[in-house]
């Protein structure tokens, strides 16, 4: 890595894929247009409803001449999502350097013959408190499992930020914890890089790989590196996928004997797509909104609406309820941490926003039909690690992070939070922080080593405007 520019240069261009940009683009177009190799004798994909939100891919990482078509068939699914996906979390196995845990680079960008990809340094820095995440540029310097994916991503997505992690000796739970923290929303794609079996005869490899594919499609943990060199990152993703209810399907499968190698000693390849149940999120929003409005209506002795059910309502959850009138704020109260069921939390915060926000008088019956309700569902807050205010400001992600500031100047406890929506009015991190300090009862120019910051993300839903 060049320490002056902090850019990791390509290490396997000209070997695993063409080093010349024009030749590389031609090769990528060929791979992305590839037709999946027939999968005779291999298991089928899981059934279920049509996917609505592509969240993760598992793709091979051999030279393009061997596995490029199998990878390209999966990457072609991303073409309609360019613009929506602006961050890629990329995990692959360490092949050259021994690492305990997951290795994060210190670089600011990774380069390929097609240009440089900026790293999401804020996301990487936010992993620093996890003991299984270590800083290691050596683990990335010659690692091909991550690099070969980058030209594909540049071609199908255009501009995006990258969170690259090389996985060494790590448990499925350790990988899953990292993925949960980086999961994000529709803007984030997870990519796991792995080949299947190595150096068996053609028929033996087919048998091994078909069994491995069956395990992956069932979201079962892999037990051997002979099944997949990336078994550890795959297992972490499968654990999260099972918990979050993702649906998986196989996109393509072959081995090097089907492409550019002989059939005596082959390497197996397969690609998979995992889909998040976006439909459930779509129904959760309306269920929360109607409960918030009904809670206010009941307090005002007004008619209520039918309330659709949703399985998430019984689980713990933290919400903020925001009321607006003619576009102006009319009340906002919420919970920073989950301490009761989501159903109870959204009702209580709706009532508090309408009748207990100290900035406004209690809502009246005359106003009730004119208010617009917005519900924000908060992720679990994550502590930030920083050395100064400037360092903290560099880590903030405008329009993504909600921020909780806690401080105790002079022995007096101060706390305040801004939802990610506040970035719309305060788009500059320094201005955002200054107003947050002011909200917490602190001077805008005050800073101390006592400051603690946590960040969170939100899903938000808002009622349609009244006619």
pLDDT of residue 38: 36
Instruction: Collapse the DSSP code of 14 into the 3-class scheme (helix H, G, I; strand E, B; otherwise coil) and give the result.
Output: coil
Q: What is the pTM of this model?
A: 0.62
Is 403 in contact with 396 (CB distance < 8 Å)?
Answer: yes
Beta bridge partners, 134, equal 103
What is the fold, at CATH topology level, of the domain defined by 280-376? Glycoprotein, Type 4 Pilin (3.30.700)
> Which CATH number applies to 382-459?
3.30.1490.150
Q: How far apart are CA 240 and CA 224, in angstroms?
A: 19
Q: Is 161 left (phi over 0), alpha (psi -120 to 50) or beta?
A: beta
The full set of domain ranges for the chain reads 7-276, 280-376, 382-459
By residue count, the chain amounts to 467
CATH architecture of 7-276: 3-Layer(aba) Sandwich (3.40)
pLDDT of residue 163: 95
Q: How far apart are CA 133 and CA 112, in angstroms?
A: 25
User: For each of the chain's 467 residues, which pLDDT tens digit applies?
Assistant: 544 358 999 999 999 999 999 999 999 999 998 654 433 333 333 434 443 589 999 999 999 999 999 999 999 999 888 888 888 999 999 999 999 999 999 999 999 999 999 998 888 988 888 999 999 999 999 999 999 999 999 999 998 999 999 999 999 999 999 998 888 878 889 999 999 999 999 999 999 999 999 999 999 999 999 999 999 999 999 999 998 889 999 999 999 999 998 999 999 999 999 998 765 556 788 999 999 999 999 999 999 999 988 878 888 889 999 999 988 899 999 999 888 899 999 999 999 999 999 999 999 999 999 999 999 999 888 889 999 999 999 999 888 889 999 998 666 789 999 998 899 889 899 999 999 999 999 999 999 988 999 998 888 888 877 65
pLDDT of residue 37: 41
Reference 436, options 450, 454, 449; nearest CA is 454
Q: What angle do CA 357, 362, 364 make, to 5 degrees?
A: 145
Q: How far apart are CA 19 and CA 13, in angstroms?
A: 5
Instruction: For residue 326, count other CB atoms closer than 10 A to its CB.
Output: 10
């Amino acid at each position: 890595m060049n320490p002056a520019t902090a850019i990791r240069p390509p290490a396997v261009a000209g070997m695993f894929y063409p080093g010349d940009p024009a030749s590389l683009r031609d090769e990528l177009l060929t791979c992305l247009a590839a037709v999946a190799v027939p999968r005779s004798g291999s298991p089928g994909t899981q059934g279920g409803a049509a996917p609505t939100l592509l969240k993760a891919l598992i793709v091979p990482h051999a030279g393009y001449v061997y596995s490029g078509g199998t990878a390209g068939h999966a990457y072609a699914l991303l073409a309609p999502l360019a613009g929506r996906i602006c961050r890629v979390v990329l995990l692959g196995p360490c092949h050259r350097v021994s690492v305990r845990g997951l290795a994060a680079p210190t670089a600011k960008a990774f380069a390929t013959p097609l240009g440089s990809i900026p790293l999401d340094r804020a996301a990487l820095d936010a992993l620093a408190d996890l003991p299984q995440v270590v800083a290691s540029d050596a683990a990335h310097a010659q690692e091909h499992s991550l690099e070969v994916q980058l030209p594909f991503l540049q071609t199908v997505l255009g501009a995006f930020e990258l969170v690259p992690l090389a996985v060494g000796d790590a448990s499925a739970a350790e990988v899953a914890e990292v993925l949960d923290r980086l999961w994000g929303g529709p803007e984030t794609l997870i990519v796991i890089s792995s080949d299947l079996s190595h150096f068996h005869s053609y028929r033996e490899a087919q048998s091994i790989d078909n069994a491995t594919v069956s395990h992956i499609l069932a979201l079962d943990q892999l037990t051997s590196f002979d099944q997949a060199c990336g078994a550890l990152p795959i297992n972490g993703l499968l654990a999260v996928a099972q918990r979050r209810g993702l649906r998986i399907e196989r996109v393509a499968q072959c081995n090097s004997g089907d492409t550019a190698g002989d059939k005596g000693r082959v390497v197996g390849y397969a690609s998979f797509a995992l889909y998040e149940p976006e439909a459930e999120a779509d129904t959760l929003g309306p269920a929360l909104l109607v409960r918030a409005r009904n809670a206010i209506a009941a307090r005002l002795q007004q008619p209520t609406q039918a309330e659709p059910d949703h399985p998430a309502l019984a689980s713990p959850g933290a919400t903020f309820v925001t009321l607006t009138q003619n576009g102006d704020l009319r009340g906002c109260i919420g919970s920073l941490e989950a301490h009761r069921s989501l159903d109870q939390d959204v009702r209580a915060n709706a009532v508090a926003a309408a009748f207990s926000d100290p900035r406004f008088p209690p809502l009246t019956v005359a106003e009730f039909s004119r208010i617009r309700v917005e519900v924000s569902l908060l992720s679990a807050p994550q502590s930030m690690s920083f050395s100064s205010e400037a360092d903290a400001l560099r880590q903030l992600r405008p329009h993504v992070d909600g921020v909780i500031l806690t401080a105790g100047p002079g022995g007096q406890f101060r706390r305040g939070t801004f939802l990610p929506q506040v970035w719309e009015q305060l788009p500059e991190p320094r201005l955002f922080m200054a107003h947050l300090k002011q909200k917490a009862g602190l001077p805008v120019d005050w800073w101390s080593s006592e400051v603690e910051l946590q960040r969170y993300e939100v899903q938000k839903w808002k009622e349609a405007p009244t006619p």
